[in-house]
Amino acid sequence: MNYLDSNPNVIQWASEELFIPYKSPLDGKWHRYFPDFIIRMRDKDGKTLVKMIEIKPRSQSVPPQPKAKGAHSKKYLREVATFGINSAKWHAAKEYCADRNWEFVVLTEKELGI
């Protein structure tokens, strides 16, 4: 957040200020997704753009791989559920952003250099 406060190209930012409805693949019900950040900023050409940012561990942003063929441990099933929910949230977020000409970005420890 210090980065956002000190970056001269950031005009405005908010954390978990809006929600996006999404349908959970687990229970088929509608839920509310609160993205981590909405950032209004200037690009290198001085144009204003808006980015919706979600920060997640890389392990939650890629499909989980079973460790052994046919082995479906509780941990693996939890990972599948988490990835499924995240995918549903991010699909809804991408549509929300597309309607507004915003950009949706998921950042992991890789992109953050952690």
Query: In this predicted model, what pLDDT tens digit does every residue of 28-81 receive, in sequence order?
Result: 999 999 999 999 999 999 999 999 999 998 888 888 887 776 667 888 888 999
Report yes or no: 107 and 113 within 8 Å, Cβ to Cβ: no
Residue 94 has pLDDT above 80, yes or no: yes
Q: Supply the pLDDT for residue 70.
A: 60
Q: What is the 8-class DSSP label of residue 62?
A: S
- The two tokens of residue 105 are 């970005």
Domain range spanning residue 8?
2-112
- The two tokens of residue 59 are 């392990």
What's the number of domains the chain is made of? 1
Report yes or no: 17 and 40 within 8 Å, Cβ to Cβ: no
